[in-house]
Amino acid sequence: MIREATLGEFVARRSRGIVPNATPDTSFELYSVPAFDAKKPDIVPGSAIGSNKQIVEPGTVLLCKINPRINRAWTVGSFTRQQKIASTEWITFPPHPDVEPRYLTYYLSQNKIRDYLASKASGVGGSLMRVKPSTVEDLPVQLPELDEQRFIVAEIEKQFSRLDEAVASLMRVTANLKRYRARVFQAAVEGHLVSTEAELSRRKDRDYETGDQLLSHIKKERCAVWEKRNADARKKKYLEPLPPDKSVIPQLPEGWTWATWDQIGLSQNGRAFPSADYSEAGVKLLRPGNLHEGGRLLWTSQNTRHMPKPYEQQNADLIVRGGELVMNLTAQSLKDEFLGRVCLTDVNEHCLLNQRLARLTPVLVLPEFALVVFKSTSFRRFVDGLNTGSLIQHMFTSQLARFPVPLPPLAEQRRIVLEVNRKMSITEDIEIQLTRNKTRGQFMRQVILARAFGASVAA
C-alpha cells in the first residue's frame, strides 16, 4: 500500500539550537555543508566552531538551503559517539516511523526536486541563493510500506555501486593520463622524445647549429632587445645574466646546453588595476583564474573582467597579444600546480597583464618549446623548492631568472614541439570521451532515481 504524503508532514518545524564553543573541550560530530562532498562529518572540538548549530540525531535527513542548484541531501549517521550537530544551513527531517531515512534522502536527490527548489529560491545567485523550509512543505512524496522503501533503497544502492565502480575506473584513466603527460614533457626536456640533431647530423653527414652556438646568438640578441627597451633609461647599463652552475645539474644530450631563463628570456611583471573600475566592455583584464591547466587561456562569462578603453591606451606596454607566454606568480597552495602555471596565448589574444602575473618572452627560442619546459617535472620541482611555508604562496621573476633551462638546437626544438603536440592531441581526444562518460554517469544516477520513484527523466 502506498501512502500519498507531503514533505510538510516530516520537515522540522523548530530546530534545537546549540552553542558549541560554550563547551570548548567537547568534541562534536559536525555535519557541515563543506563536508557533504566527502560524505563524512567533521569531528571537531567546540572551541573550533565559531557559530551556532542545530542538534540532530542519527536518521535525520538533511537538505541544503544554500544554492539549491547543487543537489545536496544527506542522512545523519553515527560515525562516533559524539553528539551530532549540523549547520543551520540544512533543512532537517527528523526520524519518522513511516519513513526510511535513505529513501527520503534519495527522493530529495532527484533533479526535479533540485529544479523546483531553485525556482523558489531567493537571493541574487550562487551561495547567496537560499530556500526556506516552508518551500518544501507542499512537495508530494509517495510512501510505500517500510519494507518496500528499504527494498527500493537497496536496489538504488546496488545500481549506484556499479556506477561508482565505472566512475572510479574513469578516474584512474584520468590520473594515468596526467602521469603520461608529465612523462612526455619530461622526456621532451631530457632529449628522449625525438632523435637529437646530433644523431641526425651523423646519419646524414652534415653540420648543425648546437645549443651552445644558439646560446651565443641569443646573448647578442637579448642584449639588443634589452637596449631597445631601455633606450630612454639613462645611466642604465646592460648586465650579462649569469650562467647556471653546471656542477649541480644533470648532463644533457650531445648538442644541447644549459642556460638560465635570464640568459634566454625576458620577464615583465603585470600591474595592479582597480576592481572598482571593472566595466561591462573595454579591454579584457588577464587574471590568474584565466590560466587553464591545459596551457591555454580560458575566458568565460564568470571569469572575464574588463577595464575601460582608456586603460589600454595608458598601459600599452602591458598589452598581451597572440603567441606570448604568461605565468601565474601566486596561489593559495602548491596544489593543482597553479603556482608557476604557464599558458601560451592564442593568435588573436588581446588583454591587459594584471598583477600577480608575468609575461615571459624567450629570445630566439620557440615559445612553444619554452611552454614544454615550464610544464615539465623539472620546473615543477623548481617551483616546489620555492615553498615559503606561508598560507599564500608566491614566486618572483627574480627567482625564475635562475631556473636552469635545457637548450637544444632550434631545429630539434621544432621536432620536439610537433611530437609533444601530437601526443597531447591524442590525450585530449581521450579526455573528451572521459568527460562525456562521466557526464553520462551523472545522468544515469538520475535515471535510476527516476525509475525508483516512478518519474520520467528530462535530458
Q: 149-154: which pairs have CB atoms within 8 A and are 24 or more residues apart?
A: 149/99, 149/100, 149/103, 150/100, 150/103, 152/103, 152/106, 152/452, 153/100, 153/102, 153/103, 153/106
pLDDT value, residue 140: 94
Please tell me the predicted confidence (pLDDT) of residue 269: 97
Note whether 138 and 438 are within 8 A (CB): no
Q: Is 27 exposed, middle or buried (0-12, 13-18, 19+ CB in 10 A)?
A: middle
Query: Do residues 41 and 79 make contact, with C-beta atoms less than 8 angstroms apart?
Result: yes
In words, the CATH class of domain 3-143 is alpha beta
| CATH H-level, domain 209-408: superfamily | DNA methylase specificity domains (3.90.220.20)
358 is written with which cell numbers? 608575468
Rounded to whole angstroms, the Cα distance separating 318 from 269 reads 9
What DSSP letter does each residue of 62-117 carry, written as one string? EEE-B-TTS--EEE---SSSSEEEE-TTEEEE--BTTB-HHHHHHHHTSHHHHHHH
Residues sharing a CB contact under 8 Å with residue 176, sequence separation 6 or more, in sequence order:
none
Helices (H) and strands (E) in the chain, counts: 11, 22
Local confidence pLDDT in tens for the 459 residues of the chain: 889 999 999 999 899 999 999 999 999 999 999 999 999 999 999 999 999 999 999 999 999 999 888 989 999 999 999 999 999 999 999 999 999 999 999 999 999 999 999 998 887 666 678 899 899 999 999 999 999 999 999 999 999 999 999 999 999 999 999 999 999 999 999 999 999 999 999 999 999 999 999 999 999 999 999 988 887 766 688 899 999 998 888 999 999 999 999 999 999 999 999 999 999 999 999 999 999 999 999 999 999 999 999 999 999 999 999 999 999 999 877 778 999 999 999 999 999 999 999 999 999 999 999 999 999 999 999 999 987 767 778 999 999 999 999 999 999 999 999 999 999 999 999 999 999 999 999 999 999 999 999 853 333
